[in-house]
Amino acid sequence: AAAEKGGFSSFMDKEIHDQPHAVGDTLLGRTDADGRLVLDDLRIDEAVLRTVDKIIVVACGTAAYSGHVAKYAIEHWCRIPVEVELAHEFRYRDPIVDEKTLVVAVTQSGETMDTLMAVRHAREQGAKVISIVNTHGSTIPRESDAVLYTHAGPEIAVASTKAFLSQITAAYLLGLYLAQLRGNKFPDEIREILDDLREMPRKIQTVIERGEYVSAVARSMKDATSVLFLGRHVGFPVALEGALKLKELAYIHAEGFAAGELKHGPIALIDEGQPVFVVVPSPRGRDSLHSKVVSNIQEIRARGARTLVIAEDGDDAVLPYADEIFWIPQSPTLMSPLLAVVPLQIFAMALATAKGLDVDQPRNLAKSVTVE
| Site residues, ligand G6P (CB under 6 A) | 60-63, 107-109, 112, 115, 158-160, 365, 367-369
CB-count exposure of residue 227 (10 Å: 0-12, 13-18, 19+):
buried
Give 158 or 227: the residue with its C-beta nearer to ligand G6P: 158
Give 184 or 361: the residue with its C-beta nearer to ligand G6P: 361
Give 115 or 333: the residue with its C-beta nearer to ligand G6P: 115
- In the complex, the smallest distance separating the C-beta of residue 18 from ligand G6P, rounded to whole angstroms, is 16
Give 83 or 196: the residue with its C-beta nearer to ligand G6P: 83
- In the complex, the smallest distance separating the C-beta of residue 326 from ligand G6P, rounded to whole angstroms, is 23
- In the complex, the smallest distance separating the C-beta of residue 223 from ligand G6P, rounded to whole angstroms, is 26
Q: How far is CA 276 from the centre of its chain?
A: 19
- In the complex, the smallest distance separating the C-beta of residue 296 from ligand G6P, rounded to whole angstroms, is 28
- In the complex, the smallest distance separating the C-beta of residue 28 from ligand G6P, rounded to whole angstroms, is 21
Which SS3 state, helix, strand or coil, does residue 194 take?
helix
Distance CA 61, CA 108 (A): 10
- In the complex, the smallest distance separating the C-beta of residue 187 from ligand G6P, rounded to whole angstroms, is 33
Give 291 or 370: the residue with its C-beta nearer to ligand G6P: 370
Extended strands (E) in 98-252: 101-107, 128-133, 146-149, 226-231
Distance CA 337, CA 233 (A): 10
φ and ψ of 155, to 5 deg: -110, 120
DSSP designation for 31: B
Give 61 or 275: the residue with its C-beta nearer to ligand G6P: 61
Give the full edge-to-edge strand order of the sheet including 324-328: 253-258, 226-231, 275-279, 306-312, 324-328
Name the residue whose CB lies closest to ligand G6P: 61
